Structure 1
Amino acid sequence: MSSKGKLKAGSIAQQAFDMALARLASTPARRTKDRKPWMPEDEDRLCALYPDTPMPDLTKIFSRPYWQIYNKAYALGIKRSEAYLASEHACRLRRDNNPGTGTRFQKGQPSWNKGVSYTAGGRSAETRFKPGALSGKAALLHQPIGAERITKDGIRQRKICDDGPPQRRWKSVHMILWEESSGAVPPGHIVVFRDKNTANIEIDNLELITRAENMRRNTIHRYPPELKSTIRQLGKLKKAISEASNEKQDD
């Protein structure tokens, strides 16, 4: 770039800089911290004028923005008068004259596109979602009927359907085996593993018992007194170790 071009570009930049400084100098600084407080005489005057005075006039009288006047009126509990709300100065919604009635759909009025069918062109028919199709994360996590999984308790489950609540779509494999062999499980009963091994899914290893019996089998009251005492002491020891570990982590 020639020296003449540089000089011209420099003068334009200087002019823009000078204009920006002049604009900043002419713009009054915003002072949000030292807002004009409401004096008692101002509040009394607002109580007298607010019910019937239009907002543009109030902003000029009090030299305040409209929102400050609205807030102060709300704080003082003063409202517009019935005569003002019925006048032309009030908002149409506040006058309760039901604006827009003439352009609303009336009850029983048919829409302009009733009975009109639309057929998209191009490849839209090929790319539309089919009824029941999954998308996004659901499609990635979806497993077909017959798939199996292992729960946190080590129970093997098999997917038996795609509809209904998610918890009803999976069923324990040992329950399926029992029902195929011996029929439905009666109410108040469960099927358990004789050897406590949930991976040993054989019909000879399954047993039908009541829920009450299952509770008795899993309580310490079925043990001799000396063993029950040992189990309780072991529980207290585990609790003390856990509390000591938590206190150490807090330190």
Structure 2
Amino acid sequence: MTELYPNTPMPELMKVIGKSERAIYAKAYLMGLKRSEAYLASEHACRLRRENNPGIGSRFKKGAISWNKGISYTAGGRSGETRFKAGTLNGKAAMLLQPIGTERVTKDGIRQRKIRDDGPPQRRWKSVHMILWEQAHGDVPMGHIVVFKDRNTANIDLLNLELISRAENMRRNTIHRYPQELKNTIRQLGKLKKAISEASNEKQDD
């Protein structure tokens, strides 16, 4: 490679070395080999040739107009019958498109309802229990979520819904590995802390 690559045309290199053009170029690159000035100036350099501006005759001239400018293309045959029409949905897109009001159940068991057709796909659906809560109490504050008191996602009843902070939700989810008696104690302790905090805030307001 070191002796032959600088000046030997590629067809001859392929015969002598027994490798493809791509393999030879890759190996030369790894070895830091380059074509000689004489080779680059020769007819064997083809697109690499530096002199005589090779290929200039076939390049698109600046300001030239393409042959098909202003010509509308009309496909023949039955293409007009089979092409997609504007606004038409086919295949999987048509299957996934559901009208507003359609409900579905996620893999986590949460029932959702489609509320819009526009916007990102993840914002077109909303949890039914969230819709029910907001209808009764207004928007959910930032940093809070609505959960099921009995942890049964199928029991979508306003009396079974509770607004809690995400921090509280995290605490609740971390206690499930404990025995039931300890779970109850931790929950009671959480309620006690919340009551103390609320009483303290009311005192400060006074």
Q: TM-score range by the shorter chain?
A: 0.5 to 0.7
Aligned residues: 176
SS at match of 2:162: strand
Unpaired runs of at least 5, structure 2? 184-206
Give, in whole Å, the separation in 2 of the partners of 1:143 and 1:227.
Answer: 46
Once residues 52 and 132 of structure 1 are traced to their aligned partners in structure 2, the CA distance between those partners, rounded to angstroms, is 60
Sequence identity percentage: 70
Give deviations 1:70-103, integer Å, cap 9, x for gaps.
85x9497654421232123x22212134432232
1:170 aligns with 2:125: yes
The CA distance in 1 between the partners of 2:80 and 2:86, in whole Å, is 13
Q: Which AA in structure 1 matches 2:129?
A: H
Shift of 1:156: 0.6
CA RMSD across the alignment: 3.9
1:92 matched to 2:46? The reply is yes
Contact 1:55 1:66 survives alignment (8 Å): no
Distance 1:174 1:206, change over 3 A: same
Higher share in helix: 1
TM-score, normalisation: structure 2 = 0.64
Aligned to 1:149: 104
TM-score normalised by the chain length of structure 1: 0.54
Alignment of 1:67-216 (within 5 A): 67-68=17-18, 71=24, 74=28, 79-88=34-43, 90-97=44-51, 98-120=53-75, 124-216=79-171
Q: How does 1:42-81 map to 2 (within 5 A)?
A: 47=3, 51-52=6-7, 65-68=15-18, 71=24, 74=28, 79-81=34-36
Shift of 1:172: 0.6
